[in-house]
Chains A and B, each alone.
Chain A
Amino acid sequence: MIRGESTQASVRRRLMRLRLRLWAESAGATLKRLGRNKSAVAGAVVVTAIVLAAVLAPLISPYSPDKMNLNDRFSPPGGEYVLGADHLGRDVLTRILHGARVSILVGLITVAISIFTGGVLGVLAGYYGGTLDTFMSRLTEVLLAFPYLIFAIGAMAMLGPGFWNLVWALCFKGWVEFFRLARAGVLAEKTKEYVEAAKVLGRSDLEIMGFEILPNIVNPLLVVGTLRMGTMMVMEASLSFLGIGIPPRIPTWGSMIQDGYRFILNAWWLSTFPGIILVALVLSVNLVGEGLREVLDPDLQTF
């Protein structure tokens, strides 16, 4: 009895190790194929550069993001301030570097929460069906009936500005897409023979969902997850632009564009530069996402 159990445990351990190795191998293969896609590589390089700049922002910034120098108000770019200075005499470059932190964090955190919530709920709903599934599916249909930005604006109007409020407002609807992808994937997979086989072998539901089905449905989640990081960043910028996203004291690209917009007639650089970097980052993230799509799930319809 004891021996039997320990054998079983060691078989499980070995199986686990095998699975990990297989996953690592397929991840390696994916990266290798992604490496052959020039635009994806270019995107990855830009993303990496911006992420590095954001992480190192306090070290590499020429000024402090909040340092005002009223004598230098509206200094045009090219002089002492590389990308110019704003209406309070703050360095635009410095604020762009610090603003990158917000964009990247919002993109990462919201997508992580959305994928996790949506994925778990979707797998459960798809696997068990029943009332849970019906309820969740109806709920997602209703949530999908709101344009994303409107929904986020409505939520922010109620919650008020703030980093975490923004994250919640975005995740509130963000999980829906992943739920539907995961659920559809599970529905397609769960009738296949390998799942039947796993059931016959006495695997628990949790093992079947986690180890058998999940690896087969995870690709579209990863692709859409990558692309949505870009969407979330645009969303954050839009909300901050409207003044209902991140509170004004934290530098973000959206609020910088908003500040610049007020002085559009005499200082073009204030809105232009944060916008360019925002577009560059979102574009690069999208390029990586498209590259991933081509490798992982060429038939997936995106955007």
Chain B
Amino acid sequence: MAAPGDKEVLSIKGLQVCYRTDRGPVRAVRGVDLSVREGEIVGLVGESGCGKSATLLSVMRLLPFPGEIVAGSIEVDGTDVLALNGKGLQALRGGTVAMVFQDPMSTLNPAHQIGAQMKEALRVHGLPSTRSVLVDLLKEVGIPSPETVLGYYPHQLSGGMQQRVMIAISLSCRPKLILADEPTTALDVTIEAQILDLLRQINRDRGTAIVLVTHNLAVASQFCHRIAVMYAGQIVEEGSVKDVLSRPLHPYTRGLIGCIPRFRKGVPLTPIRGQVADLSENHEGCAFYPRCDKAVPGCLETLESLLDAGDRMVRCHRYGVPEYGDVAAAQDSGCS
């Protein structure tokens, strides 16, 4: 993996997203701060409906109706995304930032040939779209016989190949940042590894920063430099992959790790009890409180910001409090 640089490509501050539905507002994202540096791979991990995808779509200003960004700021490569419109927005989408979606089968337009769909992306950003450019792109993402594939319709390709085409399209305009929304969820496990390899290779060769949204902690752990764990529209913990996985600070992260199946005999899965928080309700204090086995009454007070835990952050009242238990103990044993 390429070593991340210092320059920030993406900076999200205090992002809040609200869906104004018929049954009242749903606050899908409630104050997310996220920063991605050049060449960095950041994993955004959490259960379905925790606001991961809404965060990504906000960066592209693609929130579907009735979703709306109600507060916060988003900067991509120094540009204020929320101030963009018309041409500026078009230049950002697919130009500076490219997106890879979850299900390539439904994301590639069934009515157009692969070549035409690739050409379109290059054309709208004023780049040359000759056949050789397209062929090179397809070669780069490892598609065999690219000449033929250009004339294919999406349904003539397998899921893995379709996802490669999507990645080729997202690469085509040399973006600074690729947002990958569960790019392997719809694929077989063996294909999943290939696609992740491809993304890693792109990150290494081109230095493109990647934000990977996934519900799969195992995938994130193999792939990312840094991980941000989301719960109920907030980031509850953020840090380097090593730190977060080996010494999770937030009870929710610990719960997630407990849910990963292991190939060792006799290690039982420990599911997180309860249900994902209902985002249409207004939570006082910690949203994870009802499901937390470490909860104390003090958790119901609102925690305004992430607590600094060295080079990582956590959103938990009990962090730093002496009776915090094993994590605090780990802290004591000098791993700051």
| A touches B (Cβ under 8 A) | no
